Amino acid sequence: MNKTVTLQLKCIYCGESFMDPSHKVDGYPGIKLKARTGDITGIVWLSSVLGSPKFESEVEFTKKVVARFSCPNCSAELTSTQTCDMCGALMARFKLSDGGKVRVCCRSGCKNVWLEL
């Protein structure tokens, strides 16, 4: 059995945890974020399992669409100026609960993750 690595993420601005134990994805607490694409805004739950492209959302997002993520608590934009080296979309920036930082690709289904430890 493979060891599952999960990410515990929080907002780089207000420090609020994004982990939502009441909404599990892949069997672990989901990463709850506000997502916007075009004029659609909704809550998404990303999988906290490292490398898993799985996510759930309350609204239907087109596959491969690039979303802009913001904090559900303070509404700050989490999108960074860095682009994904796999698909060219913008990446969002998060803080890990143990102090490091992580960048996640904003394109649904890409799930390119960079750890900045």
Question: By the criterion CB under 5 A, which residues form the site for Zn ion?
Answer: 11, 13-14, 71, 73-74, 84, 86-87, 89, 105, 107, 110, 112
The least CB distance from residue 4 to Zn ion, in Å, is 22
The nearer residue to Zn ion, 25 or 66, going by C-beta atoms, is: 66
The nearer residue to Zn ion, 29 or 111, going by C-beta atoms, is: 111
Place of tokens 């982990």: 19
DSSP-assigned beta bridge partners for residue 105: 91
Which residues are within 8 A (CB) of 74 and not within 5 positions of it... i.e. 6 or more apart? Answer: 11, 13, 14, 16
Vertex 108, ends 111 and 57: CA angle to 5°? 115
The nearer residue to Zn ion, 27 or 74, going by C-beta atoms, is: 74
